[in-house]
Each structure stands twice: as C-alpha cells, then as structure tokens.
C-alpha cells in the first residue's frame, strides 16, 4: 500500500486483498526492514481509523489459513486491541502524556528543545537514525523495527524526554494511535513493563536492515553493541487501573429523530451494530484548531484525516440514504451541537470513543447535548467488548484467551 494513498475503504480492501497471500510468510519476514516495506501490510492507518475491521482481517485469514500458519499475523493484529484495552482502564496515562508534552515545550532548557528539534528533523549526525526521521516526515509511515530503534535512540542515546519523541510520531504517523503509540514509547522507555526497556543495537540493525539503513556509517559508533545503556526513567510508574466503562452493544428502539456522529475511532458504521440505524442525518467534525493548535499535526496527517472522514461520510450517505455532512468547526462540541439542533435531533448515536483526542471532548459534548435536550447514545462493537474483557493482565495471558476464542478446541 502506498502510504500517500487516501485511507479509503476501497484502498483498504484492495491493499488487504493484495497482502492476504503474504500472510503465510509474515512470521519469518516481518522483522526485516526493506525498501517499499512489501513484507508487511502497511494497513495500520486503515485499521486504526477502521476503514477495515480487525474482525474482517481475522475472518479472511482463518478462511484461508490454519490458525497455526497465521498465528504470528493474528497475534500482531490483536496487539492494537490489547493496547487499547490497557489505555481504556488507565486514562490518566494518556492525559499525563498530553500534559507533559505541553509542559516540556515550556519548561525544558532551550538547548534540550533545540536538540529535540534537530534529531526529529533528521539532523542528529547518526546517518541511519536520520534516515528514519526523514522517512517518517516524508511518508507518514515507519516499519515497526524502525519505530523501535528510533524511539530507543531518542530516549537512551540522545537522552531526550520520551514524551516529545512520542509527540513527534503522533504528529506525523498516518496510523497514529493514542494507545499503540503512547504505550509502545513507554515500553521502549522501560515504563510499561517494569524492568524492561528496549535498547537499540547496531548488530540488530545490521541483521534486519542491512541494505536499507547501512551504507553511510556516520555516527554509528554511538549505537555499537554494549555502548547504549538504559536511561533510568524519571517517572514513577502509576498503573492504577480504573474499571472498564461498559457500553451497550446494540441499539434500543428510537424515541425521536436520530442522528449518527461518525468520528476517527470507527469509520465503518455500515458493518456491525449501527448498520440498521436509519439516521435522519450523519455528521463528522473536522477542526483545524484541534489538529493544528492542540496537536500540531503535519499537513499530510491533516489531509489524510480529511480524506478518511470524507470517505466515511460518503459511504454513510450511500448506506443510510440520508445527508452526511462535515462539521467544520473551531470547537467540535459547538459544531456538533449546532448540527444536532439544526437537524431537530432528539438523539445522537455514535461508536463509543476510545481514550484519545475524540474521548477528550466527550464530557463537554455530553453536557452541551444535555443543555440542548439531545440524548447521546454510545455503542461498542461486541467483538471489542469480548477482546477488552480478555485484557486483564499482560499481553500473553490476553493472547492465550484470544487464541482460544479464535481457535476453539474441538
């Protein structure tokens, strides 16, 4: 999949069909970083915004392969839901990260900020790491191994705050996912799994990216095996877990005129529990203020958000045979409120937002809708409820339950 292609459903489906035959070789080839990245799916953005469902991928995979052959692929597909479930029950981790990004920009010494700027612009002086930074800025995509190496370089070699590195990824990655990004950075830093950090090593880069990242040796002595050591984390880990918020998985009878609010956590309403909704109107917000002022997203990120939003609305308009509009608003809460009022809605239905930017507007939106006498009904996909219920400990206990669910004993 070309990272510049808009993340439409059509592109997602054709990319997935093209990748399906490669699932059999995925386990053996996924760690290699090569030009074009054709050994991996590059479906992250489609799955993150749900122009393609994990459920569809799992079903197609198991129709074509045995569980054993596809196990590594399925495990990776399930990682996102594990991370999401983890963050759903620790929303403070997301809030604290956003707060730290803002305060670091104001409080860090100017020379630290200047170094962070240089390293993220691909001017660190370590040629292979600079190539990764430039690839991210130019394409909005990085292979998993490049993400791991570069994050480790930022934290343990450059000794820069992980929060700013994670923010650089969040601003540029077209698949930027609040859970996968924040928690993977924390894992590299040694904050996610106590006692475990991820250290970049030159021999590992040589093994997995010999043609792609080697060639220019400038600065590579800083990555020599044995040279990089763990930078002790400054943060005291806080794993306090709040209960998972429960949402219904199906709709109740409508009591008045209904609208559908589509957002970036799920752009596939025509498949699943909202398929029979019959809304009078559909809306999704786009907010330059949120994207630029709050998150400072790259122009590529903003245009891909616009494309995926428009595609979701176009499909919704065709499926429900009703108007589907973009709400361009400085303040998404006021914009959605004005839409609900203009449409005379008694109820707005949406997929329950996950912890992240959309969830951040939720409490204000609920209050605003209550003032306008509009009920907000949030629905969760049954398969998300099942997956989230398995995520009560680490990934491997989660995967054990998940694999029994996907491949029940006969």
Ligand X SMILES: Cc1cc2nc3c(=O)[nH]c(=O)nc-3n(C[C@H](O)[C@H](O)[C@H](O)COP(=O)(O)OP(=O)(O)OC[C@H]3O[C@@H](n4cnc5c(N)ncnc54)[C@H](O)[C@@H]3O)c2cc1C
Q: Crossing angle of helices 382-390/67-88, nearest 10°?
A: 90
Q: Crossing angle of helices 162-172/178-189, nearest 10°?
A: 150
Find the shortest distance in angstroms from Cβ 304 to ligand X: 13
* # chain residues binding ligand X, by CB under 6 A: 28
- Cβ proximity of 133 and 142 under 8 Å: no
- Measured from the CB atom, the residue of 139 and 377 that comes closer to ligand X is 139
Q: Is 48 an interacting residue with respect to ligand X (CB under 6 A)? A: yes
d(C-alpha 269, C-alpha 262), whole Å = 8
Contact with ligand X (CB under 6 A): which of 30, 50, 359, 368? Answer: 30
Q: Is 44 an interacting residue with respect to ligand X (CB under 6 A)? A: yes
**x-or-dash string of contact with ligand X, 54-83, rule CB under 6 A:** ----------------------xx-xx--x
Q: Is 181 an interacting residue with respect to ligand X (CB under 6 A)? A: yes
Which residue is it, tokens 């590195």? Answer: 165
Please return the burial class of 90, using the count of CB atoms within 10 Å of its CB with bins 0-12, 13-18 and 19+.
middle
Among positions 199-218, residues that touch ligand X (CB under 6 A) are none
Contact with ligand X (CB under 6 A): which of 11, 43, 133, 223? Answer: 43
Phi–psi pair at 389, nearest 5 degrees:
-70, -20
The pairing of beta strand 375-379 with beta strand 324-328:
unpaired
Contact with ligand X (CB under 6 A): which of 184, 264, 300, 304? Answer: 184
d(C-alpha 214, C-alpha 84), whole Å = 35
Which residue is it, tokens 């170094």? Answer: 115
Find the shortest distance in angstroms from Cβ 202 to ligand X: 18
Find the shortest distance in angstroms from Cβ 47 to ligand X: 4
Q: Is 151 an interacting residue with respect to ligand X (CB under 6 A)? A: yes
User: Could you list the residues that contact ligand X (CB under 6 A)?
Assistant: 30, 40-44, 47-48, 76-77, 79-80, 83, 143-144, 147-148, 151, 169, 173, 175-177, 180-181, 184-185, 188
């Amino acid at each position: 999949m070309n990272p510049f292609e808009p993340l439409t459903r059509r592109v997602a489906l054709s990319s997935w069909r093209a990748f399906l035959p490669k699932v059999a070789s995925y386990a053996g080839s996924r760690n290699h970083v090569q030009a074009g990245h054709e050994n991996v799916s590059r479906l992250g953005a489609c799955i993150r915004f749900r122009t393609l469902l994990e459920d569809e991928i799992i079903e197609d995979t198991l129709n074509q392969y045995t569980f054993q052959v596809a196990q590594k692929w399925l495990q990776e597909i399930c990682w996102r839901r594990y991370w999401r479930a983890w963050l759903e029950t620790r929303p403070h981790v997301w809030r604290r990260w956003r707060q730290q990004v803002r305060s670091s920009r104001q409080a860090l010494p100017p020379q630290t900020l200047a170094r962070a700027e240089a390293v993220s612009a691909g001017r660190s002086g370590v040629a292979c790491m600079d190539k990764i930074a430039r690839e991210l800025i130019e394409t909005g995509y990085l292979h998993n191994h490049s993400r791991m190496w570069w994050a480790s370089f930022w934290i343990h070699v450059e000794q820069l705050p992980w929060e700013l590195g994670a923010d650089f990824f969040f601003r540029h990655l077209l698949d930027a996912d609040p859970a996968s990004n924040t928690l993977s950075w924390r894992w590299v830093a040694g904050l996610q799994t106590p006692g475990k950090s991820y250290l970049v090593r030159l021999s590992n880069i040589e093994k997995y990216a010999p043609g792609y990242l080697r060639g220019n040796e400038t600065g590579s002595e800083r990555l020599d095996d044995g040279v990089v050591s763990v930078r002790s984390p400054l943060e005291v880990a806080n794993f306090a877990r709040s209960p998972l918020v429960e949402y219904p998985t199906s709709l109740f009878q409508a009591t008045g005129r209904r609208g559908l609010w589509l957002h970036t956590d799920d752009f596939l309403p025509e498949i699943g529990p909202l398929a029979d909704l019959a809304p009078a109107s559909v809306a999704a917000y786009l907010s330059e203020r949120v994207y630029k002022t709050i998150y400072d997203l790259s122009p590529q990120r903003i245009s891909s958000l616009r494309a995926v939003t428009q595609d979701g609305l176009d499909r919704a308009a065709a499926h429900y045979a009703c108007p589907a509009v973009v709400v361009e608003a400085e303040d998404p809460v006021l914009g959605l409120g004005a839409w609900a009022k203009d449409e005379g809605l008694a109820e707005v239905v949406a997929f329950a937002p996950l912890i992240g930017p959309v969830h951040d507007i939720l409490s204000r939106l609920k209050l605003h809708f209550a003032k306008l006498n509009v009920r907000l009904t949030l629905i969760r996909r049954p398969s998300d409820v099942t997956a989230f219920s398995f995520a009560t400990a680490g990934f491997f206990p989660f995967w054990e339950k998940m694999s029994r669910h996907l491949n029940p004993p006969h």
